[in-house]
């Protein structure tokens, strides 16, 4: 497999990053909703080289029964990476990283879900990373909240997520794999934009307190930007159904 | 797969009392909102380990053993030694712990402690290289939870850093790419001393070092690791609810203020 070498500079003299972006620019994002047939809700996310599928099943009867809670739904979440999603083949067995991410992603989504509406049931969120780039947990959260909405599960808000980091001493939005690897810090943040509530924040690297505070503000603003894209994607599904029906009607009329 | 945890009915009954008290600035063990429980640290209790420490944070008890062995380097860091952190939620420590493979809580605990040590570059891993690409030293940090009364993250991080400061490795020389041990010991190459501080949100207040009852009541927690230069080097939010932007910033400020106090106690114990 082709391996990306460490570039000489992560930011060139014009302030452009390795992939040509400015410091405050998100990668190209593509969001699609309702793309799986059997799942109750589903979404597909592309962000940079990330390719992520999310399916939601439920609320459905809890199996095994003893995991059910009497006053709310149990939310189950699995973040999993396909063996071909990384440069070197990843064993399909769940790694420690995947187990931790399953937990933090669930905790990022739970505050938004009105789980008390569905006691004794489970709501299952299955995340498959088909190809991974930097910031896959954020893209997964963005996609998972779309899939939950697509499944018709009542939520207080969508959850939008994106990461802010530091490369060559400068705060940069939405780090790619390469920038994460050779940069100095990375901080994924998830937000419920309607409440300004942060539901996930992790960080590794080195930030001064000022850098941290500034990065958090940038992350929150970018989450709001992604929130708009999520709303467009959700509406997009119904617009395309409407168009399909209209076309069908027109062709039927023409046939008569 | 990660699923919503169950909370015991007893904990639910206690929740209201705890929230009420904290809203009046009081805690069930009469601390102030920004106080740690009493911290006691012992070192060198396990002779067979290269380094060891036990941290008593209130009634929480954590033992850490450090072992240093040789092993293969990772292909992407051929000239660096390896740091591995593992945490065992030993069943004798709590009715909530069960024997079996590590669950998400023990993995998260180990990974948060690991991130603090790794990202602050607490150990100079390049000094632990024996032969680039072939052989390096592996530092195993094994966290053993012996009594669980809340805030395992901070207690584990305290015991881990102390055990690393306490650790000695044999002198050695390299003969034909093999490590040959010689008499005498030297300390591990420690470069930085990160401290993790965990802050819980209970009601609308932020409290430092939650005990078990407070953990079962908190809506969210934020852990920040602060290094010697006062920089943030790792963070982790946990819990079932969210935090406002102001709360996240306030929690990191509190953490950076508390870190020095804990670091002094560790340095004192490891002397």
pLDDT of residue A2: 57
Query: Does the structure show a pLDDT above 70 at A78?
Result: yes
CB atoms < 10 A from the CB of A65, how many? Answer: 8
Phi-psi region of B63 (alpha: psi -120 to 50; beta: other; left: phi over 0): beta
| A222 CB within 8 Å of a chain B CB | no
Asked whether residue B264 is assigned to any structural domain, the reply reads yes
| A123 CB within 8 Å of a chain B CB | no
Q: Which of B115, B236, B245 sits opposite A196 (nearest CB)?
A: B245
Q: Which residue in A has a C-alpha nearest to residue B234's C-alpha?
A: A204
Chain A (124-183) residues lying within 8 Å, Cβ to Cβ, of chain B: none
Asked whether residue B237 is assigned to any structural domain, the reply reads yes
Cα separation, A200 vs A187, whole angstroms: 10
**Do A75 and B6 count as a contact with CB atoms less than 8 A apart?**
no
Residue B104 Cα distances to A135, A243, B90, B109, angstroms: 21, 45, 14, 8
Between A6 and A25, residue with greater pLDDT:
A25
Query: Does the structure show a pLDDT above 70 at A1?
Result: no
Cα separation, A98 vs A93, whole angstroms: 9
Q: Which residues of B touch A103 (CB under 8 A)?
A: 2, 104, 108
| A86 CB within 8 Å of a chain B CB | no
Distance from CA of A242 to the nearest CA of B (A): 37
Cα separation, A229 vs A227, whole angstroms: 5
The string of pLDDT tens digits covering residues B211-252 is 999 999 999 999 999 999 999 999 999 999 999 999 999 999
pLDDT of residue B12: 78
Contacts of A101 (CB under 8 A, 6+ apart): A79, A137, A140
pLDDT of residue A13: 87
The string of pLDDT tens digits covering residues A130-151 is 999 999 999 999 999 999 999 9
**Model confidence at B204, in pLDDT bands (50, 70, 90)?**
very high
The string of pLDDT tens digits covering residues B48-103 is 999 999 999 999 999 999 999 999 999 989 999 999 999 999 999 999 999 999 99
| B133 CB within 8 Å of a chain A CB | no
Q: A245 is written with which tokens?
A: 């029906």
Asked whether residue B3 is assigned to any structural domain, the reply reads no
Asked whether residue B137 is assigned to any structural domain, the reply reads yes
Contacts of A252 (CB under 8 A, 6+ apart): none
Cα separation, B247 vs B254, whole angstroms: 10
**Domain limits of chain A?**
29-87+98-255
**Do A203 and B111 count as a contact with CB atoms less than 8 A apart?**
no
The string of pLDDT tens digits covering residues A163-187 is 999 999 999 999 999 999 999 999 9
Q: Which residues of B touch A64 (CB under 8 A)?
A: none
| B119 CB within 8 Å of a chain A CB | yes
Tell me which residue range forms the domain holding B95: 27-270
Is the pTM higher than 0.80? The answer reads yes
Longest dimension (CA), chain A: 72
Chain A (103-122) residues lying within 8 Å, Cβ to Cβ, of chain B: 103-107, 110-111, 115, 122
Number of domains chain B contains: 1
**Do B242 and A111 count as a contact with CB atoms less than 8 A apart?**
yes
Q: Which of A102, A205, A216 sits opposite B1 (nearest CB)?
A: A102
Specify the residue for token string 């001064």.
Answer: A208
Query: Does the structure show a pLDDT above 80 at B10?
Result: no
Nearest C-alpha neighbor of A52 from the set A10, A24, A76, A80: A80
Asked whether residue B162 is assigned to any structural domain, the reply reads yes
Nearest C-alpha neighbor of B190 from the set B54, B28, B50: B50
Asked whether residue B13 is assigned to any structural domain, the reply reads no
| B230 CB within 8 Å of a chain A CB | yes
What topology is assigned to A29-87+98-255 in CATH?
A: Ribosomal Protein S5; domain 2 (3.30.230)
| A102 CB within 8 Å of a chain B CB | yes
| CATH number of the structural domain spanning residue B65 | 3.30.230.70
CB atoms < 10 A from the CB of B205, how many? Answer: 15
Size of interface A-B (CB pairs under 8 A): 125
Report percent pLDDT > 70 for chain A.
Answer: 98
Q: B257 is written with which tokens?
A: 């203020």
Average pLDDT value for residue range A115-121:
96
Phi–psi pair at A161, nearest 5 degrees: -140, 145
């Amino acid at each position: 497999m082709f391996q990306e070498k460490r570039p000489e500079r992560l930011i060139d003299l014009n302030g452009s990053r390795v992939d040509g972006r400015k410091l405050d620019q998100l990668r190209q994002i593509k969001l699609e909703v309702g793309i799986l047939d059997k799942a109750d809700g589903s979404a597909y996310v592309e962000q940079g080289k990330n390719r992520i599928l999310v399916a939601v099943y439920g609320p459905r009867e809890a199996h095994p029964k003893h995991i059910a809670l009497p006053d709310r739904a149990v939310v189950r979440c699995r973040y999993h990476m396909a063996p071909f999603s990384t440069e070197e083949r990843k064993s399909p067995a769940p790694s420690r990283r995947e187990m931790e991410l399953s937990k933090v992603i669930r905790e990022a989504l739970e505050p938004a879900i009105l789980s008390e509406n569905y006691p004794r049931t489970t709501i299952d969120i299955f995340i498959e990373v088909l190809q991974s780039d930097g910031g896959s947990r954020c893209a997964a959260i963005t996609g998972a909240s779309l899939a939950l909405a697509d499944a018709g599960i009542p939520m207080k808000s969508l959850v939008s997520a994106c990461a802010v980091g530091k490369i060559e001493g400068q705060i940069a939005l939405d780090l790619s794999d390469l920038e994460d690897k050779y940069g100095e810090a990375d901080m994924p943040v998830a937000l419920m934009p309607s409440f300004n509530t942060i539901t996930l924040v992790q960080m590794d690297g080195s930030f001064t307190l000022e850098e941290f505070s500034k990065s958090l503000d940038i992350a929150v603003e970018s989450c709001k930007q992604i929130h708009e894209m999520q709303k467009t994607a959700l509406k997009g599904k119904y617009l395309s159904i409407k168009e399909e029906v209209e076309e069908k009607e027109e062709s039927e009329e023409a046939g008569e | 797969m990660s699923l919503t945890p169950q909370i015991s009915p007893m904990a639910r009954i206690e929740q209201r009392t705890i929230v009420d008290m904290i809203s009046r600035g009081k805690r069930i063990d009469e601390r102030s909102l920004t106080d740690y429980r009493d911290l006691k640290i012992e070192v060198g209790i396990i002779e067979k380990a290269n380094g060891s420490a036990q941290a008593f944070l209130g009634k929480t008890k954590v033992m850490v053993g450090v072992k240093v062995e040789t092993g293969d380097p990772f292909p992407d860091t051929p000239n660096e030694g390896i740091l591995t952190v593992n945490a065992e939620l030993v069943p004798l420590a709590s009715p909530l712990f069960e024997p079996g493979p590590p669950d998400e809580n023990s993995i998260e605990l180990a990974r948060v402690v690991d991130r603090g040590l790794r990202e602050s570059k607490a150990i100079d891993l390049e000094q632990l290289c024996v032969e680039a690409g072939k052989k390096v030293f592996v530092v195993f940090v094994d966290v053993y939870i012996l009594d669980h009364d809340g805030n395992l993250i901070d207690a584990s991080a305290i015991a881990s850093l102390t055990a690393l400061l306490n650790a000695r490795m044999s002198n050695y020389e390299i003969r034909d790419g093999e490590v040959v041990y010689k008499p005498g010991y030297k300390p591990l190459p420690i470069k930085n001393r990160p401290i993790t501080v965990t802050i819980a949100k209970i009601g609308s207040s932020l409290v430092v070092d939650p005990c078990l009852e407070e953990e079962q009541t908190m809506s969210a927690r934020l852990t920040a690791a602060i290094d010697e230069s006062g920089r943030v080097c790792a963070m982790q939010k946990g819990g079932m609810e969210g935090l406002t932007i102001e709360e996240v910033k306030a929690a990191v400020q509190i953490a950076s203020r508390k870190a020095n106090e804990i670091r002094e106690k560790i340095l004192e114990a490891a002397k």
